[in-house]
Structure 1
Amino acid sequence: MARLIYRLYNERALRCERVVRDRTNPLDMYNDEELIQRFCFSRVEIFSLVDELFDDLRFQSDRNAALTPTLQLLIALRFYANGAFQNTVGDMIGMHKSTACRVIRRVSLALSRRLPQYVNLPNEAEAIAVKQRFRQASGIPGIIACIDGTHIRIQAPSEYEHLYVNRKGHHSINVQLVCDANYKIINVVARWPGSTHDSRILRESELFNQFEARGVNGILLGDSGYPLKRWLLTPLLNPRTQQEQRYNAAHTTTRSIVERCIGVLKRRFHCLHGETRMHPERACTVIAACTVLHNIAMKKRIPLPRHDPLLCQDEEAPAIPAAQEDVAGRLVRAHVVNLLRA
């Protein structure tokens, strides 16, 4: 009995004491301009996001010094903004790396669940306004959005690693993005490995089915990596006449909107610009979360950090032309070419 008491006493004496770290609240330290530099959102927008995500982020009790929804959101926003290691993000608040990892995952899931609310096709009134703006910019009638693919680099996964190697030799997620004339993302598909061709991602998406079933009244502009359809116009590979050259020039100028949109997205949320050090499934959740935040920031006209230009070109490898072309698509494109007269 004495030996048992002695052993229990020694185990208790050698047990590590629990450490409770002092946590800082960045909202008490920075003004609005400094918050935008570090978190991409001002104080008002941060409080608005906290109110919206409160039910998803709150804990049932305050045991174990539970993080408030505000601190959880700030941790995630800081990670999205600079893409730093999670232990660096945790040090900002005063917490362990594993806690920061769980918080980023929790906030990303909460934001991704709101994807249908913030990332959706325009209604009838919005579509008319978007078409008018595209028509004024390009002269091509009926354009509702531009489509493009972009690669988000990730660390090499442990499973199916070869599928994630893209044409540049990097491991990535190939993300399909569709945006309107106001740089609002209206569709995103973030689940395909980097080796997947853009045309396949479109063909397997719900967006393809909606346009094929004539559920959307409008035309998409895409590069030569997409198939020519009656609702998807691609450039002419070998323009011969002046009208065809004017069509290609108008097509390129208009489609650059989606390239600039991708550039703004990646530079506002720098975690998408560098290598995302996460499992592919978690990286896709972060991409969806950043897409939601992008649309919120564009709607509220939140400026980019000062060191980043507003219209940033996204650097991607030239598209591999898609072989699929249908007769209806060629007829629609020929009609558009004839409309673009000097």
Structure 2
Amino acid sequence: MEIEDRNIDVREIEEIDDSTDDEHDMRAPKRYIRDWIDPFEVYYNREFKRRFRFNKNTILHGILPLIEEGLARNNNRGLPIPPKFQLLICLRFYATGSFQQVIGDTIIVSQPTVSRIVFRVSVLLARIFNQFIKMPCTPDAVRENQRLFRDIGRHDRGIGLPGIDGAIDCTHVRLVGTRFQNIEEIYRNRKGYLSLNVQAVVGPRTEFLDIVPEWPGSQHDSRIFQNSRIYMRYVQRQLSGILVGDAGYPCLPFLLTPIQNPQTDEEITYNILHRRTRQIVERTFGIWKRRFPCLSRGLTNKLICSTTIVVACAVLHNLSLIYNDILPEEEDVLPEQYNEMEVLVEEPHWQPGEGFAVRAALIERLFR
């Protein structure tokens, strides 16, 4: 009986092992896109916008036509995902900042598929940034831009800063789980976490006019500006207006900064005008990160993909303004809530002298 029992046990073990091998050899069933639930049909527009941060019409008639050709397949090989669903997958990632595995489980695709789609869609959006992120180029557009900036910073006495093209500042986009090759500490900013230090020039309607996404978080704002294309365009007089920036930037003939220790009433009033004019860039960063929480919660992608996502989100932000697709919570965003206040503002590494003379002449012209 012991031998029979032992034989039975052996046969049972063999059967278990065989079944285990069969389970390992089983292939996952193919997932057909036609079995998906179409969010455009299931959700009302309000619920759809909460999940994807845009209205249905904006996605179908505004964003999708710009990148649909790059996402489409000529055949059905490999059960390709239709372009509109690829765009929704990417927007869902931007809107949540969640793990790609969680997004994949929610919409029934694998994590590698989500990763490839996010990168593919982000690249296509980033390629068209020259169409939607650019400085005003026509005389009428420049004058209108400068008029709006003067109205934004207008003082009780009816005075505003003249000739302002844009407000410039930097914001940190957190990097979480990004793999570096012995250069990790370069991306650690003064607050102690890894990030990209993203420079942006913003217009009076909270639109992006220029963006530089690739610098490590440890780099100073003034150094990023000095090595940027927008700086060279002003130096070479391709642009004739003026930017406004905080005390971390040098005072230049084309860049106005606040006076550190104002002594006269005119200097105090100038600082008030400057602060009111520059607050638009802080408000824009708040709106931008509120619409795309992946920028504030942290990007877990590869470094090249993270910089691409930053540009793609800036393009989508400008498209939301073009199509007047505003989130309800964006209307109440205040600069003070999202301003990355510094206990001690770091002075710029370089400070030419001619900028102070231009600023002094401007103050004298405003209040004489």
TM-score with structure 2 length normalisation? 0.86
Equivalent residue in structure 1 for 2:338, among 298, 303, 314: 314
Kept after mapping to 2: 8 A contact 1:151/1:194: yes
Kept after mapping to 2: 8 A contact 1:230/1:329: yes
Runs of 4+ in 1 over 6 A off after TM superposition: 11-14
Q: Which amino acid aligns with 2:270?
A: Y
Q: Which amino acid aligns with 1:59?
A: R
CA change 1:340–1:58 in 2 (3 A) is same
Q: Which amino acid aligns with 1:141?
A: P
1-side partners of 2:122 and 2:242: how far apart? 32
Residue 134 of structure 1 is matched in structure 2 by: 149
Kept after mapping to 1: 8 A contact 2:167/2:280: yes
Matched, 1:94 2:108: yes
Structure 2: 5+ residue stretches without partners: 1-20, 154-159
Equivalent residue in structure 2 for 1:221, among 241, 244, 249: 244
Matched, 1:148 2:158: no
Kept after mapping to 1: 8 A contact 2:132/2:315: yes
1-side partners of 2:349 and 2:185: how far apart? 24
Deviation, 1:325, is: 2.8
2-side partners of 1:310 and 1:19: how far apart? 46
* 31-40 or 228-237: bigger deviation: 31-40
Residue 77 of structure 2 is matched in structure 1 by: 63
Aligned-partner SS, 2:297: coil
Q: Deviations over 1:284-320 (max 9, x none)?
A: 0100000000000012221215488344542314231
2-side partners of 1:163 and 1:17: how far apart? 44
Q: Which amino acid aligns with 2:55?
A: S
Count of aligned residue pairs for this structure pair: 333
Identity rate of aligned residues, in percent?
36
Structure 1: 5+ residue stretches without partners: 1-10
Q: Which amino acid aligns with 2:45?
A: D
1-side partners of 2:168 and 2:329: how far apart? 28
2-side partners of 1:174 and 1:231: how far apart? 22
2-side partners of 1:42 and 1:310: how far apart? 20
Q: Deviations over 1:131-174 (max 9, x none)?
A: 11112232111111000000000025332000000010010000
Aligned-partner SS, 2:213: strand
Q: Which amino acid aligns with 1:326?
A: P
* 46-55 or 266-275: bigger deviation: 46-55
Kept after mapping to 1: 8 A contact 2:95/2:294: yes
* 31-40 or 317-326: bigger deviation: 317-326
Kept after mapping to 2: 8 A contact 1:268/1:305: no
2-side partners of 1:68 and 1:323: how far apart? 50
Deviation, 1:23, is: 2.4
Kept after mapping to 2: 8 A contact 1:40/1:81: yes
TM-score with structure 1 length normalisation? 0.92
Matched, 1:242 2:262: no
Q: Deviations over 1:207-231 (max 9, x none)?
A: 1100001110210000111111100
1-side partners of 2:75 and 2:173: how far apart? 37
CA change 1:307–1:116 in 2 (3 A) is closer
Q: Quick check: which has more Rg, 1 or 2?
A: 2
2-side partners of 1:250 and 1:202: how far apart? 23
Equivalent residue in structure 2 for 1:108, among 110, 118, 122: 122
Q: Deviations over 1:117-144 (max 9, x none)?
A: 1101112221100111112232111111
Q: Deviations over 1:160-198 (max 9, x none)?
A: 000000010010000001011111100000001100111
Residue 4 of structure 1 is matched in structure 2 by: none
1-side partners of 2:22 and 2:106: how far apart? 32
Kept after mapping to 2: 8 A contact 1:72/1:107: yes
Q: Which amino acid aligns with 1:149?
A: C
* 153-162 or 207-216: bigger deviation: 153-162
2-side partners of 1:241 and 1:310: how far apart? 33
Deviation, 1:16, is: 1.2
2-side partners of 1:13 and 1:248: how far apart? 71
